[in-house]
Amino acid sequence: MIVKKFADFIVNLKYENISKDAIQQAELCLIDYIGVYLRGRNEIAPQILKKSVDLINHSYSDNMLGEAMFLGTASHVLDLDDGHDVARVHLGTVAFSTAIALCNKLAVNGKQFIEAIVAGYEVGIVLGSIANPNHRNQGFHSTGTIGTFVAGTVASKILGLNYYQTIQCLGLCGTQSAGLLESDHQGTMAKAFHSGNAASNGILSAFLAYNGFTGAESIIDGDEGFLKARAIGDIRSDKSLKEVNKNKIDRNLFKLTDEFQIEDIYFKLYPFCRHIHSSIESSLYLNNIIKKDYTAIDAIDIYTYKTASEHDNYNPINAEELRQSLPYAVAIAIVCGEVGLTKVNFLIQDGLFKDIDDVDDDKVHDIKILVDKIHIHDKKEFDNLEAGTRPANVKVKLNEKFRGGVFEHTTIFPKGNKRNPVKPGEVIDKFRKLNPRYPIKKLNAIDYIESSEMNELLNMLLNYDY
């Protein structure tokens, strides 16, 4: 059973057996998480959550579950957190939120911390790679659903659960996992909440298991388990899960002992859904060609894969909806030549969500004009490329002043993918841009994480006057 395979991996993973590259990647993921969390913690969604938890428990910081919920929501709300292209799950927001909430209450050293984080990433990537794309195509948000298993893994490792207890923890995670993408499409705060809820439920599952509460060891691959219920694909009632997906399951489970897939994590540079990033990068490329002549554009055609093409909101009314809007992301990239969080926030302040007749800012006006010239196409060939690709072709047609000239660009692997990686220096630069007043030299302490007490280290890294 899959849960038993996971439990065996979790219990036996030791710091000394983790590759140097995987440890360095975990440290870089921590830097990225802190930068995104610090910028996101004062957004409306996490502040409402904090206020609500305070009403229930008097102080969210005194409640481990409430703190995990806040950390997870704050680190996911900007849509800038790391993820995995094949597994289709944001891992850092859940893994680190879980670990930090526990470290604030328990004595945890740096080696234990890294063990837990790497274990969480690996389990999440393997389960996500097994369940997706069917899981996502059925409307589930993997960061909430699979993220609960990530959190349970991290928590069980930090608590030092034994093999039997870890099985129970994962069994409880499976029955608590939740997250529907309709929350995402409707532009609500619930998408960010999925991460916080996953972190909280993972911790709860671990403590329940520690005290003898039981969960189903068949929760993932049982006849009425996670995969049968939520990643049904071509499974039929007359076939068992193992008959249909045995090769896929075995292939991914083998990776638990064969490699560390945390090394394949992507880092996000744009505050938009990952499915939109290839279109953004193709548009930024075209901006370098067209420059200010974007006013001469007659039409923009975006050819991309099915999931990306469904991000077709032409009239976002808030930041949550904007992050899922392919037309607006492309228009901003072509008009502004940049799609960073600060630029997007300025555009919002200048009236991005207003009716065009009420807009005074020239850039915002031009963006809205351009949005109406955008046509999105589901290109079937792009759906058949290898797992992990995010293909998009953006084609721009100019008016007769430019003889109807056509420019186009295709991006298969957006920035951050292992075939188009973000360098460590770019992660630090992203951190600086998100938190310009943060004393960046403090991050050097992460180089000594293996000999650190995590409560002290995290308190130093997460607290500063801004």
CATH of the domain at 403: 3.30.1330.120
In this structure, what DSSP letter does residue 408 have? E
Domain presence at residue 169: yes
Q: Are residues 290 and 240 part of one domain?
A: no
Q: Are residues 431 and 397 part of one domain?
A: no
Q: Are residues 222 and 356 part of one domain?
A: no
Query: What does DSSP say about strands 374-378 and 392-398: parallel, antiparallel, or unpaired?
Result: unpaired
CB atoms within 10 A of CB 131: 27
Domain presence at residue 114: yes
Instruction: State how far the Cα of 401 lies from the Cα of 236, in Å rounded to an integer.
Output: 58
**Which residues have CB under 8 Å from 283's CB, separation 6+?**
329, 330, 333, 334, 394
Q: Which of 83, 301, 273 is CA-nearest to residue 181? A: 273
Domain presence at residue 213: yes
Helix (H) or strand (E) holding 411: strand 406-411
Query: Which pLDDT tens digit goes with each residue over 86-121?
Result: 999 999 999 999 999 999 999 999 999 999 999 999
Q: Are residues 324 and 242 part of one domain?
A: no
The model's pTM is 0.94
What phi and psi values does residue 378 have, to the nearest 5 degrees? -85, 110
Dihedral, 453, 445, 268, 345 alpha carbons, nearest 10: 100
Domain presence at residue 416: no
Is residue 388 classed as helix, strand or coil in its secondary structure? coil
| Residues of the domain holding 445 | 2-269+421-462
- Taking CA atoms, 400 is separated from 296, 407, 409, 449, in Å, by 9, 14, 21, 61
Query: What does DSSP say about strands 406-411 and 392-398: parallel, antiparallel, or unpaired?
Result: antiparallel
Instruction: State how far the Cα of 320 lies from the Cα of 185, in Å rounded to an integer.
Output: 9
Domain presence at residue 247: yes
Domain presence at residue 179: yes
Q: Are residues 299 and 264 part of one domain?
A: no
CB–CB of 181/73 below 8 Å? no
**Which residues have CB under 8 Å from 406's CB, separation 6+?**
395, 396, 397, 398
Q: Are residues 341 and 326 part of one domain?
A: yes
Q: How confident is the model at residue 131, as a pLDDT?
A: 95
Domain presence at residue 335: yes
Q: Are residues 447 and 365 part of one domain?
A: no
Q: Are residues 298 and 214 part of one domain?
A: no
Q: Are residues 370 and 304 part of one domain?
A: yes
**Which residues have CB under 8 Å from 186's CB, separation 6+?**
321
Domain presence at residue 278: yes
Instruction: Mark which of 411, 434, 452 sits at the end of a domain.
Output: 411
Q: Are residues 236 and 313 part of one domain?
A: no
Q: Are residues 457 and 404 part of one domain?
A: no
In 182-257, where do the E strands start and end?
none
Instruction: State how far the Cα of 306 lies from the Cα of 292, in Å rounded to an integer.
Output: 31
Q: Are residues 299 and 154 part of one domain?
A: no
Count of domains forming the chain:
2
CATH of the domain at 136: 1.10.4100.10
pLDDT in tens, the chain (466 residues): 999 999 999 999 999 999 999 999 999 999 999 999 999 999 999 999 999 988 887 666 678 999 999 999 999 999 999 999 999 999 999 999 999 999 999 999 999 999 999 999 999 999 999 999 999 999 999 999 999 999 999 999 999 999 999 999 999 999 999 999 998 877 789 999 999 999 999 999 999 999 999 999 999 999 899 999 998 764 444 555 555 567 888 889 999 988 999 999 999 999 999 999 999 999 999 999 999 899 999 999 999 999 999 999 999 999 999 999 999 999 999 999 999 999 999 999 999 999 999 999 999 999 999 999 999 999 999 988 877 889 999 999 999 888 789 999 999 999 998 899 999 999 999 999 999 999 999 999 999 999 999 999 999 999 986 6
**Which residues have CB under 8 Å from 62's CB, separation 6+?**
none
Burial class, 147, CB count within 10 angstroms (exposed 0-12 / middle 13-18 / buried 19+): buried
CB–CB of 323/272 below 8 Å? yes
In 189-344, where do the E strands start and end?
297-304
